[in-house]
Amino acid sequence: MIPNILSNGQYNTVYNFLSLVIAAQLFTALFMLIGLPRILPRYRQAITVAIIVCGIAAYHYFRIFDSFKAAYVTKSVGGTGSYSQAVGAQFNEGYRYVDWLLTVPLLLVELIAVLALARSLQRRLLVRLVPAAALMIALGYPGEISGDNGLRGLFGLLSTIPFAYILFVLFVQLGRSLDKQPTAVRGTVSRLRFLLLLSWGVYPIAYLLPLLNIGGADAWVGKQIGYSVADIVAKAVYGLIIYGVARTKSFDDDPKFALAEGAETDEPFVLAH
């Protein structure tokens, strides 16, 4: 439940974390846009998708930020007192679900695109992963906005089904293609799947809080912090790692390009082996 009153500290915590996400998404997108010519054309699709993901997230966090500021007001001078819900205004959690509905499938597109697999294999993976990701988010939303714990639990269970299917495809079927990747990125690509799992794991935990009778302003603020950190990891950090994989694969494909780019010292975003 959305709290009626936030302390000054709680308000500022949410305010600052929302601001942090906006900055992280915007400047990550800017970095990758500037760096786009520094990878080979065959991998630019993956980075273009990563830029779009960060752009979509930044836009929706602007909307979330504005919704939060409109929803909570204070009568104290200098904004040092508590904040209460404004009359006729409420924090809109739906912006997050619109963001996830667009970005979660695209995160999977990023991963498939940077692998540069055979077109037929790419198509088979995308046909399985993208609809499952969209279905996972769509099924979670009715439970998120419901005040009925039974309905929340039902839709939470339903959304788990496509989530489990995504994990199966990522860790079993996609895992079979890793041997075709250059040795320099094989471990990084494998760990990217765990990064997705780790960051996505925050969302169901927050979703389940009302079912565990954990509520109140502190729980709500904690949920906003968790969502914010998870979105930074799942989009900005993930995008930078995808960029590093694309750079390394570009070097592996074209030694002349690697020499021109100073490949010996310029691989900062690939996870350590």
pLDDT, tens digit, for every residue of 195-204?
888 888 877 7
Q: What is the mean pLDDT of the chain?
A: 87
pLDDT tens-digit profile of 85-130?
888 888 988 898 999 999 999 999 999 999 888 888 889 999 999 9
Residue 168 has pLDDT above 80, yes or no: yes
* Interior angle at CA 159, CA 189 and CA 229, nearest 5: 55
CB contact set of 244 (below 8 Å; sequence gap of 6+): 188, 267, 268, 269, 270, 271
Considering only CA atoms, which of 242, 225, 238 is closest in space to residue 25?
A: 238
- Superfamily in which the 5-261 domain is placed by CATH: Rhodopsin 7-helix transmembrane proteins (1.20.1070.10)
pLDDT: which is higher, 169 or 26: 26
- Mean per-residue pLDDT for 44-51? 96
